[in-house]
């Protein structure tokens, strides 16, 4: 019996900053961001969007398509948690009208959280194949203004319905993973922005890719050529090219020419170039991008994934695209969402960055901005208040 992703949808804020604008302000050659780092734009969530609304906005189309019956598990992966106690999953449980017979919990391991939640959900569905799980992953990637991480900010959410006999992607049971206790990127509870050792984190990403791949290859007996495309965790899209070079070297195969490499890697990077990093949602945002933008039909083709969470956990895994998958995608919705976003000026970006949700413990009402069906209306009595738009 196959277990995997029955439906997958992604959501990103309705505002973005062009990285050429940021480059000009920072006195940097725009090619460094657009070519060197591989990012064009970064999504900026307005004050009335947070991880809960981003995730609920991603999930609604999935539930409108599949219904809510049989969903017994809701896992929410994030490293931008809004409460130290209550799971973000429960806010979404309420907004989305899920049944009371649904366990809810939050999962955290930096950008690896989405993959951890997906694998846990798949294990539960394998044990109880008549049930379904909803996996949400959402993050707002923030670094200090003017820091090296700034051009790799972004935001986004992914919703995945995990079932037996999935319509989009059957997960292969073989995976390879690797964990180490390191400090490459972290965010203490008293800070809204992460600390990151940029070069070290990139080094560890690329280093842990190899044991994860080798464990996967040993478990599955597969070679790189068995995967039609690859989707990597993408803090910035250039890392997919760096990773592929490393993988080819480790696998002892010559790297294909530029055109073939781009054919394998580019489809998964189309959305991320325009949203920036979405941390725990990133690798599956890459999957959405790949499914929506692959140059040829993927029915029956195997895809490879690499997930990396700082701290750190790395996993290489794979899945087979199901025949007829195209009829179950949200491609038009994804494209329309990206095409209708509003570009911010630098000043507007900085104003939004500095606003945030007030930490003074007072009551606040947030003006409505553009966005999906759910918004954060304000804070009252120390409780976030969400509402349909």
Q: Give the residue numbers annotated as catalytic, written as ranges.
A: 79, 111, 233
Asked if 272 touches ligand CAA (CB under 6 A), the answer is no
Asked if 191 touches ligand CAA (CB under 6 A), the answer is no
CB contact burial 210-239 (16+ within 10 A = b; e otherwise): bbbbebbbeebebebeebbbbbbbbbbbbb
Residue with tokens 């969007």: 49
Half-sphere exposure of 146 (CA within 13 A, CB side): 1
243, 310, 318, 322: residue in contact with ligand CAA (rule CB under 6 A) = 310
Full 3-state SS string of 331-346: HHHHHHHHHCCEECCH
Residue closer to ligand CAA, measured from CB, 276 or 371: 276
Q: From residue 25 to residue 44, what is the string marking binding to ligand CAA with x (rule CB under 6 A)?
A: ----x-xx--xxx-------
Residue closer to ligand CAA, measured from CB, 49 or 208: 208
Query: Residue 231 and residue 222: Cα distance in Å, rounded?
Result: 16
Vertex 137 angle, CA 201 and 42, to 5°: 60
Asked if 182 touches ligand CAA (CB under 6 A), the answer is no
Asked if 313 touches ligand CAA (CB under 6 A), the answer is no
Residue closer to ligand CAA, measured from CB, 272 or 322: 272
Looking at residues 335 to 354 of the shown chain, list those that interact with ligand CAA (rule: CB under 6 A).
none
Query: Residue 224 and residue 237: Cα distance in Å, rounded?
Result: 20
Residue closer to ligand CAA, measured from CB, 155 or 228: 155
Closest separation between CB of residue 319 and ligand CAA, Å? 21
Residue closer to ligand CAA, measured from CB, 111 or 170: 111
Asked if 152 touches ligand CAA (CB under 6 A), the answer is yes
Asked if 149 touches ligand CAA (CB under 6 A), the answer is yes
As a residue count, the chain comes to 389
Asked if 185 touches ligand CAA (CB under 6 A), the answer is yes
Q: What is the DSSP letter of 255?
A: P
CB 314 within 8 A of CB 306: yes
Using the contact rule CB under 6 A, the part of the chain among 114-122, 230-238, 323-331, 373-381 near ligand CAA is: 230-238
Looking at residues 79 to 98 of the shown chain, list those that interact with ligand CAA (rule: CB under 6 A).
none
Exposure of 152 by Cβ count < 10 A (0-12 exposed, 13-18 middle, 19+ buried)?
Answer: buried
Query: Residue 187 and residue 80: Cα distance in Å, rounded?
Result: 9
78, 163, 277, 318: residue in contact with ligand CAA (rule CB under 6 A) = 277
Tokens representing 142? 């923030």
Asked if 183 touches ligand CAA (CB under 6 A), the answer is no
64, 67, 148, 297: residue in contact with ligand CAA (rule CB under 6 A) = 148
Asked if 111 touches ligand CAA (CB under 6 A), the answer is yes
Give how far the C-alpha of residue 246 lies from the chain's centroid of Cα atoms, to the nearest Å: 23
Vertex 247 angle, CA 183 and 195, to 5°: 20
Give, in order, the Cα–Cα distances in Å from 131 to each of 292, 314, 374: 27, 28, 27
CB 221 within 8 A of CB 280: no
- Binding residues for ligand CAA, rule CB under 6 A, total 24
Residue closer to ligand CAA, measured from CB, 35 or 123: 35
Binding site for ligand CAA (CB under 6 A): 29, 31-32, 35-37, 111, 148-149, 152, 185, 196, 198-199, 201-202, 205, 233, 235-236, 277, 279, 308, 310
């Amino acid at each position: 019996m196959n277990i995997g992703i029955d439906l997958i949808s992604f959501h990103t804020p309705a505002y973005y900053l062009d990285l050429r604008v940021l480059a000009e302000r920072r006195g940097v050659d725009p090619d460094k961001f657009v070519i060197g780092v591989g990012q064009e734009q970064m999504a900026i969530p307005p004050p009335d969007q947070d991880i809960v609304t981003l995730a609920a906005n991603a999930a609604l189309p999935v539930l409108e398509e599949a219904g809510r019956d049989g969903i017994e598990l809701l896992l929410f992966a994030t490293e931008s948690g809004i409460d130290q106690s209550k799971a973000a999953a429960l806010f979404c449980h309420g907004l989305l009208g899920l049944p009371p017979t649904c366990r809810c919990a939050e999962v955290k391991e930096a950008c690896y959280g989405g993959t951890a939640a997906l694998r846990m959900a798949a294990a539960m569905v394998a044990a109880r194949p008549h049930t379904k799980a909803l996996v949400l992953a959402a993050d707002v990637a923030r670094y200090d203004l003017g820091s090296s991480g700034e051009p790799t900010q972004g935001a986004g959410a992914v919703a995945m319905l995990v079932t037996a006999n999935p319509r989009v992607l059957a997960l292969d049971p073989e995976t390879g993973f690797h964990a180490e206790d390191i400090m490459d990127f972290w965010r203490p509870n008293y800070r809204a922005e992460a600390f990151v050792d940029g070069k070290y984190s990139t080094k560890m990403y690329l280093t842990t890719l190899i044991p994860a791949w080798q464990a996967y290859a040993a478990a599955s007996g597969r070679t790189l050529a068995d995967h039609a495309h690859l989707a990597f965790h993408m803090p910035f899209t250039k890392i997919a090219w760096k990773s592929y070079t490393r993988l080819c070297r480790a696998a002892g195969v010559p790297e294909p020419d530029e055109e073939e490499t781009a054919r394998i890697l580019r489809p998964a990077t189309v959305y991320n170039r325009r949203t920036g990093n979405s941390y725990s949602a990133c690798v599956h945002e890459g999957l959405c991008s790949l499914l929506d933008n692959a140059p040829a039909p993927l029915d029956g083709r195997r895809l490879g994934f690499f997930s990396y969470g700082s701290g750190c956990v790395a996993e290489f895994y794979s899945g087979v695209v199901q025949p007829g998958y195209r009829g179950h995608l949200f491609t038009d919705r994804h494209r329309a969402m990206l095409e209708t976003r509003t570009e911010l000026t630098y000043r507007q970006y900085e104003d939004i960055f500095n606003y945030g949700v007030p930490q003074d413990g007072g009551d606040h009402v947030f003006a409505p901005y553009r966005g999906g069906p759910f918004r954060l209306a304000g804070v009252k009595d120390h409780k976030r208040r969400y509402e349909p738009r």
